[in-house]
Amino acid sequence: MAKYVDGFVIAIPKKKLNHYRDISKKAGKVWMDHGALQYVECVLEDMIDVGVPFKKLLKLKSSETVIFSWITYKSRAQRDRVNEKVMQDPRLDAMMKNEKSPYDVKRLSVAGFETLVDY
């Protein structure tokens, strides 16, 4: 079955990781409630120096780590419908008003991907 994925890479201060986790748990519930198939947030554990390492790509400071995350949908059309509902959800609106972002949004990378191979 073909799927669509929104992928995210974020540089985040290590001292703000727990705050980010709390926000992510709330945000993930919103996306799942509106039909996302999967919501995953991962934190860097093993920096591999192949190609362009995340450290160089993100200009990572020693006090920072990397979040690699994705949200899976049935299709791009379904992603668009889910995201429209998410953006209107009062829970997300409240989070955006009440929570200071734990990372620099200028160093956030986001893109939508069609699934090429899926076992």
Instruction: Specify the pLDDT at position 1.
Output: 59
Number of H helices and E strands in the chain, helices first, is 4, 4
Tens of pLDDT, residue by residue over 12-55, are 999 999 999 999 999 999 999 999 999 999 999 888 777 777 88
Tens of pLDDT, residue by residue over 76-113, are 999 999 999 999 999 988 887 777 888 888 888 999 99
DSSP 32-99: HHTT-SEEEEEE------SSS-HHHHTT--TTEEEEEEEEEES-HHHHHHHHHHHHH-HHHHHHHHH-
Nearest to 47 by CA among 33, 37, 57: 57
Residue given tokens 């996306």 in the structure block:
31
Residue ranges and CATH numbers for the domains of the chain are: 4-114 (3.30.70.100)
Q: Model pTM?
A: 0.90
Nearest to 66 by CA among 8, 11, 15, 6: 11
Q: Which two tokens stand for residue 69?
A: 């995350």
What element of type H or E holds 95?
A: helix 90-98
